Structure 1
Amino acid sequence: MNSTLRTFKILILAVAVVAILIVVNQKYSSSLLHEIKRDNKLTVITRNSPTTYYIGPNGPTGFEYELAKQFADFLGVELNIIVKNEFHQILPSIVNNDAHIGAAGITHTKQRDAYVNFGPEYTKVVSQIAYKSGQKKPKSIVDLEGKRIAVVKGSSHAQMLLDHKEFFPNLEWKEYPDLTSEELMLLTTDSLIDYTIADSNELAVTRRYFPKLRVGFNLGPEQPLAWALRKSEDDSLQKAVNNFFVKIESDGSLTHLREKYFGHINDITPVDSHTFLKHVRERLPKYENLFKEAAIEYDQDWRFLAAVSYQESLWNSNAVSPTSVKGLMMLTRDTANDLNIKDRVDPHKSVNGGTKYFLSMHEKIPARIGEPDRTWMALAAYNVGFGHLEDARILTQNAGDDPDQWMAVRKYLPLLSNKKWYEKTRHGYARGKEPVIYVQNIRNYFDLLVWLENKGELYDMVAQN
């Protein structure tokens, strides 16, 4: 009897365990993360902007795009991008389950907590008032009353204005569903509106394109940017997002990505941008075909070659420096001799010679160094010499930093002008700050040329400005 009862209890326990395993397995099998892996597709919704997603020289690019691509790789699935041109459609698309993640420079606010979940913050921004230079600088909310203000519909900026209206009843504004923040900033520089509001990172990027744009004041405290996810009892995707951000924070990938897209933004002044855009209109057309021909011959991006040339000579084929470097690409006599170039001010020979010299520097950089770091280091070598670049990389390594990352090496290049440091190097003194400025400027000029070519109808408006 006891034996029979014991057997019966064991049988009941076994059935219970099997039932639990079935329930657990069914729950896992139906989880969102499992569905994404089963379908081999992560769908992310974003928007076109310089800080999120755009089509670059080699296809889709942008901070949010690359972050989403890294997450898709982390999951081992393909990335499916949906681009919405109207910001106010993005969060409803998440609520309606049209996409798994919203990655579009979305500020995490209390109001949005009511209908979506957020992943970890990956940067902070502050909302800023943008106005046109030459106008009186707005310093407080009072200065906004009675003015023509426009913001993107569905943005956190619209909510901020609504919150302030309780105390400033004369505050009025329009919300545009079909205009981007970038387009509203253009309307500001064209004096079609008085002010717009933009996130600080987007305003910093866009000011390079619209040199007349200025920052008035901050409209509130810093706010975090984060990915938006649909509210659900199924937290499998949320946990995966959290784990992903822990990984990229700890291994430095997130810091590297920030540097790639934003590390050079503040290194160009409005005056520099204004002069550059003027020269795009007046000087570039004369040499554009030369850059395009060299780009085809040497498998480069013509806008990159044009950016290097602008940094070297301001697209002046007769340029001569105090040290007697000459031409569009400012070749030294020794470099020209090595390349068998007799006439350094000949535009065709200068562009081809400069391209060959850059590629020779690029070839010398260790193959293990990935892009874009390898290109930035090759540019630094083009400017200061390969030996001095190697000295800076050794200083970087000796200090415990990564000599294969430009963001680390650029901190140590300026030390080459300090006797305490250059005495320890093989190649001695160099004006080490110059290659840092040189590289950062070229990055900005390249961004501007890509933006101008991609924007189409905006190009003429910028030129007229």
Structure 2
Amino acid sequence: MRRILTSFIFISLLLVFGVQCTFLEKEKNKSIWDNPVALDLDEIVKRGYIRAVVDNSSTSYYIYRGRRMGYEFELLRNLASNLGVRLHLIVKSNIEDAFVLLNKGKADIIAMNLEVSDERKKYANFTEALGEVSTVLVQRKSGQMIRNIEELDDKVIHIPQGAIYKSQLCDMQVDSTFSISIMEVREGREQLISQVLERKIDYTVVDKDLALVNATYYRDLDIAFEISEKSPVAWAVRPNAPELETAINSWISKRKKSGYLATLYSKYYLNSKNSYFRSNSAFSSLGGNMISEYDDIIKSAAEHLGWDWRLLASLVYKESAFNPAATSYAGATGLLQLMPVTLERFGVEDPNDPYQSLMGGVNFLKYLDKFWRERIPESNERIKFILASYNIGHGHVEDAWKLTMKYGKNPQYWEHVSHFLKLKTDPEYYRDPIVRSGYAKGHIAVNYVDDILILYNSYRVLVEP
């Protein structure tokens, strides 16, 4: 009886999800489709950062040994540098969610290797094509193999929600006597490939280039059956952001001519050995849950601070890239790059010992936390002050804090204080009588804080606590 009930529910779900062959429901969030948020390039540059939606996959974006990697990631990083802004990433598998974020102004680009279609053009504009890709059915060689369209009759195919694969499969059913059951799910493309291999599902559909990468190291995958021919793939931008679209198109054109796009494509799509190693490593956000070989001592040290261990790991990566033997030009050493006088002050007897040097840095961070605790009671804000102090010295940050009060801003908000920290290259500010530490390249410390928090956000999304 229970089995019959389960089957009934499953068939009911298929009836609901399998017959809808449109990309997005226009009536859902109707106002954002008709009137997307007005936010173009000049405002993005003024804001100082651009937000892009990416997928967590072996070709798009992932963490490997603490580093952010991926085809889309490296392209976006290069674009952001070209535009003179910082890069903020939003990780999503659900394409419908990505289009909603774009039109609400919470993202500026969808960089998910999107196939361009007339249906999708109702919801966004597309950049110049980055390449072409076809679509294939992913199945097990050891399973019931599909070799022609008619054999898809009554088969259940799982696809990511909002993917163009749905309309491609629906087009195959037009004027035919067979029926394909399409199940849209929130999992990403590589998650569904894994589910095929694990026999949790029988079929999925993905871009051929991604399928090829996976098929080179998973022998049981069959990707021979093509669902669609090659079509252009591009990034999506808001339809009312023509300046951003023009700037991206100009950048794409130049990178194509320079060979940069081809080189990057080869790195992530054609080098199957490296792709397999990165995807299956314990130090990859795709194949494991480790950031570095020092995760255990970082977790232990983070408990002494009361920090999320992934935040401390972000600081360690920024300082030493997890190399305990790293030494800076100024003589700073260890995982947290402490100067000899600081090592001695905080009780580090052997700077070459990873745990000792790490705990020396943690004790210094605890000192900085105590210094700022009464002035900045909110912990998330205080962390920014601590990080800036770790980089440039708490005297310079305190000067900026005093200047913030003097000019009538809120000294408990890093956004206000960082503004004055950047002004410490200006004689009008660093010669102010309330400033005790003098000139400083405060913008470097502000960028340092941003770098760590951006990396922490990636660790927090892609690595389990």
TM-score, structure 2 length as denominator?
0.50
Instruction: Give the corresponding residue for 2:270.
Output: 263
Q: Return the alpha-carbon distance in structure 2 between the equivalents of residues 104 and 70 of structure 1.
A: 16
Alignment of 1:62-211 (within 5 A): 62-208=70-216, 210-211=218-219
| Structural RMSD (CA) | 3.9
CA deviation string 1:348-404 (max 9, x = no partner): xxxxxxxxxxxxxxxxxxxxxxxxxxxxxxxxxxxxxxxxxxxxxxxxxxxxxxxxx
Q: Which runs of 4+ in 1 moved over 4 A?
A: 266-269, 295-299
Q: Is the 8 A contact 1:127 1:200 kept in 2?
A: yes
Q: In terms of mean alpha carbon deviation, does 199-208 or 108-117 score higher? A: 199-208
User: Within the alignment, does 1:242 sit opposite 2:249 as a pair?
Assistant: yes
Alignment of 1:445-456 (within 5 A): none
Q: Return the alpha-carbon distance in structure 2 between the equivalents of residues 154 and 139 of structure 1.
A: 26
Q: Is the 8 A contact 1:124 1:223 kept in 2?
A: yes
Shift of 1:121: 0.9
Q: Return the alpha-carbon distance in structure 2 between the equivalents of residues 455 and 228 of structure 1.
A: 27
Instruction: Give the corresponding residue for 1:10.
Output: none
Out of 32, 38, 49, the residue aligned to residue 41 of structure 1 is 49
Q: Relative to structure 1, is the Cα distance of residues 296 and 98 closer, same or farther in structure 2, using a 3 angstrom cutoff?
A: closer
Q: Relative to structure 1, is the Cα distance of residues 266 and 125 closer, same or farther in structure 2, using a 3 angstrom cutoff?
A: farther
Q: Relative to structure 1, is the Cα distance of residues 31 and 98 closer, same or farther in structure 2, using a 3 angstrom cutoff?
A: closer
Shift of 1:94: 1.6
Shift of 1:256: 1.7
CA deviation string 1:164-193 (max 9, x = no partner): 222334323233332111121122223332
Q: Return the alpha-carbon distance in structure 1 between the equivalents of residues 101 and 185 of structure 2.
A: 15
Q: Return the alpha-carbon distance in structure 2 between the equivalents of residues 36 and 143 of structure 1.
A: 50
Q: Is the 8 A contact 2:54 2:61 kept in 1?
A: yes
Q: Relative to structure 1, is the Cα distance of residues 31 and 153 closer, same or farther in structure 2, using a 3 angstrom cutoff?
A: closer
Q: Relative to structure 1, is the Cα distance of residues 136 and 268 closer, same or farther in structure 2, using a 3 angstrom cutoff?
A: farther
Q: Which runs of 5+ in 2 are unaligned?
A: 1-37, 282-291, 297-321, 327-461
Q: Is the 8 A contact 1:44 1:80 kept in 2?
A: yes
Shift of 1:267: 9.4
Q: Relative to structure 1, is the Cα distance of residues 172 and 263 closer, same or farther in structure 2, using a 3 angstrom cutoff?
A: closer
Q: Which runs of 5+ in 1 are unaligned?
A: 1-29, 278-287, 300-453, 457-465
Q: Is the 8 A contact 1:94 1:230 kept in 2?
A: yes
Q: Return the alpha-carbon distance in structure 2 between the equivalents of residues 236 and 201 of structure 1.
A: 31
The amino acid across from 1:72 in the alignment is A
Q: Return the alpha-carbon distance in structure 2 between the equivalents of residues 142 and 155 of structure 1.
A: 22
What SS class does the counterpart of residue 225 from structure 1 fall into?
strand
The amino acid across from 2:268 in the alignment is Y
Q: Relative to structure 1, is the Cα distance of residues 268 and 70 closer, same or farther in structure 2, using a 3 angstrom cutoff?
A: closer
Shift of 1:147: 1.8
Q: Is the 8 A contact 2:102 2:108 kept in 1?
A: yes
Instruction: Give the corresponding residue for 2:239.
Output: 231
Work out the number of aligned pairs and report it.
265
What SS class does the counterpart of residue 150 from structure 1 fall into?
strand
Shift of 1:209: 5.4
The amino acid across from 1:203 in the alignment is A
CA deviation string 1:115-138 (max 9, x = no partner): 210001112111001110123432
Shift of 1:204: 1.7
Q: Is the 8 A contact 1:151 1:173 kept in 2?
A: no
Q: Is the 8 A contact 1:68 1:79 kept in 2?
A: yes
The amino acid across from 1:218 in the alignment is E
Shift of 1:37: 1.2
Instruction: Give the corresponding residue for 2:25.
Output: none
Shift of 1:67: 0.6
What SS class does the counterpart of residue 75 from structure 2 fall into?
helix
Q: Return the alpha-carbon distance in structure 2 between the equivalents of residues 95 and 43 of structure 1.
A: 12
Shift of 1:48: 1.0
Instruction: Give the corresponding residue for 2:65.
Output: 57
Q: Return the alpha-carbon distance in structure 2 between the equivalents of residues 143 and 153 of structure 1.
A: 24
Q: Is the 8 A contact 2:154 2:181 kept in 1?
A: no
What SS class does the counterpart of residue 226 from structure 1 fall into?
strand
Identity of aligned residues (%): 24
CA deviation string 1:61-99 (max 9, x = no partner): 211111111110001111111112323211222222221
Q: Return the alpha-carbon distance in structure 2 between the equivalents of residues 87 and 43 of structure 1.
A: 16
Q: Relative to structure 1, is the Cα distance of residues 267 and 93 closer, same or farther in structure 2, using a 3 angstrom cutoff?
A: closer
CA deviation string 1:218-265 (max 9, x = no partner): 111102210101112x51111101110111112221122112212312
Higher RCO (CA 8 Å, separation ≥ 6 residues)? 2
Q: Is the 8 A contact 1:125 1:199 kept in 2?
A: yes
Q: Is the 8 A contact 2:39 2:105 kept in 1?
A: no
Q: Is the 8 A contact 2:93 2:160 kept in 1?
A: no
Q: Relative to structure 1, is the Cα distance of residues 205 and 263 closer, same or farther in structure 2, using a 3 angstrom cutoff?
A: closer
What SS class does the counterpart of residue 110 from structure 1 fall into?
coil
Shift of 1:205: 2.1
The amino acid across from 1:47 in the alignment is D
Q: Return the alpha-carbon distance in structure 2 between the equivalents of residues 455 and 129 of structure 1.
A: 30
Shift of 1:210: 3.5
Q: Relative to structure 1, is the Cα distance of residues 205 and 150 closer, same or farther in structure 2, using a 3 angstrom cutoff?
A: same
Q: Return the alpha-carbon distance in structure 2 between the equivalents of residues 32 and 220 of structure 1.
A: 34
Q: Relative to structure 1, is the Cα distance of residues 169 and 96 closer, same or farther in structure 2, using a 3 angstrom cutoff?
A: farther
The amino acid across from 2:251 in the alignment is F
CA deviation string 1:415-449 (max 9, x = no partner): xxxxxxxxxxxxxxxxxxxxxxxxxxxxxxxxxxx
CA deviation string 1:39-75 (max 9, x = no partner): 1111111121112111122432211111111110001
The amino acid across from 2:132 in the alignment is K
